[in-house]
Amino acid sequence: MFLNSTEKSTPPAKKEEKPDSESAELKKQLETEKKKAEEYLNNWKRAMADFENYKKRQSELFAELVNSASAGLIMEILPIYDTFCMAVKHIPENIKDKDWVKGVVQLKEQLDALLKSRGLKEIKSIGEKFNPEFHEAIEMVESEKPESEILEEAQKGYKLNGVVIRTAKVKVAALRR
């Protein structure tokens, strides 16, 4: 075929070169970006979990600090509390109705309530079998009672939030010879 001089020759339409290779490249980039996004998400999740663990540890440390401070203060208060208990125990019958005596008893009861609210519990001793974890034997006494039974308590023992802070000083039954 011959072309007229008036007709212009147009080159045949070019097909897009590399349509498949460009698409494949975009898919690769998309996969790479998806992997990065997944990695960032996983790192973020780990960081959030680490932060939650950190907050939990800090909370536990704070609670331990408060308990430690409470234990120190309670240990200082116990001798005063012991004195209140002894005073109330030895009030003569003829003055129990006096207002000032009632005031002393009320102070002791308030101190009881405060210490209990802070986690202080008395260690039961009299009639119990001696346990060195909770009791300190100050004397062995010959008795008809079973061996190692606690007969008398010289000083009360206490636990604070389940931890022994002062063992009870006790007299323990020994077999008669």
Domain shared by 31 and 113, yes or no: yes
Cα separations (Å) of 61 from 14, 32, 75, 173? Answer: 74, 43, 21, 43
Whether residues 61 and 145 fall in one domain: no
Q: Are residues 164 and 105 in the same domain?
A: no
Is residue 101 situated within a structural domain? yes
Residue type, 117: S
Question: What pLDDT is attached to residue 13?
Answer: 55
Which tokens sit at 42? 């996983």
Average pLDDT (92-118) is 94
Same domain, 111 and 124: no
Inside any domain, residue 154: yes
Residue pLDDT, tens place only, 32-81: 999 999 999 999 999 999 999 999 999 998 888 887 888 889 999 999 99
Q: pLDDT class for 104, splitting at 50, 70, 90?
A: very high
The number of folded domains in the chain is: 2
**Cβ proximity of 69 and 118 under 8 Å:** no
| Token reading at 132 | 């060195």
Q: Region 97-122: what's the mean pLDDT?
A: 94
Q: What is the pTM of this model?
A: 0.64
| 128 and 75 inside one domain | no
Looking at residue 2, what is its pLDDT? 53
Please indicate, yes or no, if residue 131 is contained in any of the structural domains: yes
Q: Three-class SS string for 3-61?
A: CCCCCCCCCCCCCCCCHHHHHHHHHHHHHHHHHHHHHHHHHHHHHHHHHHHHHHHHHHH
Instruction: Based on the fold, state whether residues 51 and 88 are members of the same structural domain.
Output: yes
Whole-number Cα distances in Å, 107 to 64, 73, 104: 29, 18, 5
Instruction: Assess if residue 15 is contained within a domain.
Output: no
Confidence of residue 109 (pLDDT cuts 50, 70, 90): very high
Residue 2 lies in a domain: no
Q: List all residues 6 or more positions away from 144 whose beta carbon is below 8 Å from its beta carbon.
A: 176
> Please, what is the angle between helix 19-89 and helix 99-117, to 10°?
160
On whether the CB atoms of residues 73 and 160 are closer than 8 A, the answer is no
Any idea what the CATH number is for the domain that residue 155 is in?
Answer: 2.30.22.10
Out of 18-22, 115-119, 149-153, least confident range: 18-22
Determine whether 127 is exposed, middle or buried from the number of CB atoms within 10 Å of its CB (0-12, 13-18, 19+): exposed
Q: How confident is the model at residue 1 (pLDDT cuts 50, 70, 90)?
A: very low
Range of the domain at 156: 120-177
Q: Is there a single domain that holds both residue 173 and residue 100? A: no
Q: Are residues 164 and 144 in the same domain?
A: yes
Using the 3D structure, point to which of 76, 95, 118 is the last residue of a domain: 118
The predicted-structure confidence for 112-150, as pLDDT tens digits, reads as follows 999 999 899 999 999 999 999 999 999 999 988 999 999
pLDDT of 14 strictly over 50: yes
* pLDDT over 70 (residue 84): yes
3-class secondary-structure state, position 107: helix
